[in-house]
Structure 1
Amino acid sequence: MIRFWGQSKFSVDPLKPVGCELFLREKIGDSWVLPDDFAQFPPQQIADLLLQTVPVLSKDLKNVSINLDPEQFIDPEFCAVLSEVKNQLLPVTLEVELTEHDSKFPVNSSEIQTAAKHFFEAGIDLIMDDVGSGSNQIDRTLLLNPYISEYKFAIQNFRKTRSLTSIIHSLSFWCELAAKNNKLFTVEGVESKTDLQLLINYRVNLLQGFGLARPVFLPIQAERSRRAVLPFTQK
């Protein structure tokens, strides 16, 4: 059994939930876990789960995003089925986040670029997830720039146990690149009021992190007894 868990994305001014990132989880025994192999779930199964899940979200949310690893991203069937369901999700907008994960088998730059072009032509917004981490370095980002609408910078990938001020150079670089290329800029991994206060000095469009809202289980239509709790209460 698979379900989505959801974590809200917040606008900066005012600070309120405006979107939701969906994380696929698999039930093993009594626990919901990160699947060992996402390839075991065909594109149509993911699309069907989207259609069952999005209606339980708060109507205040404007968009939802799902993560695709490079192998999924270059699979033409994913673009095809997501193109079919995106209009059924309206007025909620569907977005795709290309993860920074290293590929289990070789995926070349040409395949990534071609897939990005197809999503773009299908009217599906693309998000470069965790820029500066894993495979989503500057070369791939610039290659896909014509098709990307948003960069996401994951604080947690850089600072680990360090303070946010220790990664200012990396944060500034990606913030400036987003502004230069007219992309939305999201900072994820926001954990405290101190983080928020520091980020005021940067051109940040969206925020995400445990300090604002943690991921929560999302029922599907057949399971719900009430509307899911998104958007979340701020902490």
Structure 2
Amino acid sequence: MEFYGQPIFRLSALADPAVGYELKLYQQPSQQGLLSVEQLERVLVAAHRQVPDKVSVISFDLAYEQLVDLRCQAMLTKFQRQSSVQLIPELIEGHSSPIRGLAVVKATGALFDAGMVVWIDNVGAEDRLPGLVEALTPYVAGYRFSLQGAAGFGRDDDLMDRFSFWQNKAEAAHKQFDVTDVESLDDVIYLQERQACELIQGPYFSLNYS
């Protein structure tokens, strides 16, 4: 199992150093599956030791099965209390996840009550149910919109519609709105001109920043 940190930048200050990193995990094909509580803790400890001193955020995917695990909740909240870096779990929904609805909302509320900052990942995905996002919204700090696989702004009408829908949702709920999986300079320019989000990340920055 290996990981690397994809840099996260403020859209308004792209020339500045990264404000945080999202952990991207890679596992051997024979070991594919969700990380155990112990594995996730080891990854977080290792990442915390390696990030630059000025980094303020470490984000990482958290599947619903991990979210509802009381041992995982306890580990994350304890780790956060002992860390100077803000941990941000990004809630992801696997296609085969048996965890749904109320269990997800209840577990997210428990993290919120414990002082954790949580994002909802990939709100623009076709399988992301607006009703569940609405139920989670009181307990999260923001939405993350992915451009992965999209043709790009101005070239994909469906992308434009979905982006506007979730951007407006975030603004109405007074939640942070961030964009991930940015792959082109054109998309960066589009977002800058419209001041469309707060944080931005993706392969484009991984290739263009050290």
Q: TM-score, normalised by structure 2?
A: 0.89
Q: Of 7, 25, 32, which aligns to 1:36?
A: 32
In the aligned structure 2, how far is the partner of 1:122 from the partner of 1:164? 38
In the aligned structure 2, how far is the partner of 1:211 from the partner of 1:143? 33
Q: Of 141, 154, 167, which aligns to 2:146?
A: 154
Paired position in structure 2 for 1:226: none
Higher relative contact order (CA 8 A, sep 6+): 1
Deviations 1:37-73 (A, max 9, x none): 11xx321331133122212111121110121111111
Output the aligned Cα RMSD.
Answer: 1.9
Deviations 1:117-151 (A, max 9, x none): 11101111111000031543211110101101010
Q: Percent identity over the alignment?
A: 27
| Counterpart code for 1:98 | L
Matched, 1:25 2:26: yes
In the aligned structure 2, how far is the partner of 1:202 from the partner of 1:149? 19
| Counterpart code for 1:24 | L
Cα deviation, residue 202, structure 1: 4.3
Matched, 1:123 2:112: no
Q: TM-score, normalised by structure 1?
A: 0.80
Moved over 6 A (4+): none
Paired position in structure 2 for 1:207: 200
Q: Which stretches in structure 2 are left out of the alignment for 5+ residues?
A: none
Q: Which stretches in structure 1 are left out of the alignment for 5+ residues?
A: 215-231
Residue correspondence of structure 1 range 130-141 to structure 2 within 5 A: 130-133=122-125, 135-141=127-133
Paired position in structure 2 for 1:142: 134
Distance 1:108 1:100, change over 3 A: closer
In the aligned structure 2, how far is the partner of 1:174 from the partner of 1:12? 18
Query: Would the aligned equivalents of 2:11 and 2:195 in 1 still touch at CA under 8 Å?
Result: no
Q: Of 51, 72, 86, which aligns to 2:45?
A: 51
Query: Would the aligned equivalents of 1:25 and 1:34 in 2 still touch at CA under 8 Å?
Result: no
In the aligned structure 2, how far is the partner of 1:102 from the partner of 1:66? 18
In the aligned structure 2, how far is the partner of 1:69 from the partner of 1:57? 23
In the aligned structure 2, how far is the partner of 1:132 from the partner of 1:13? 23
In the aligned structure 2, how far is the partner of 1:135 from the partner of 1:77? 28
Higher helix share: 2
Cα deviation, residue 101, structure 1: 2.1
Matched, 1:98 2:91: yes
| Counterpart code for 2:205 | L
Q: Of 53, 73, 81, which aligns to 2:67?
A: 73
**SS of the residue 2:122 aligns to:** coil
Query: How many correspondences in the alignment?
Result: 204
In the aligned structure 1, how far is the partner of 2:147 from the partner of 2:170? 16
Query: Would the aligned equivalents of 1:128 and 1:136 in 2 still touch at CA under 8 Å?
Result: no
In the aligned structure 2, how far is the partner of 1:133 from the partner of 1:61? 29
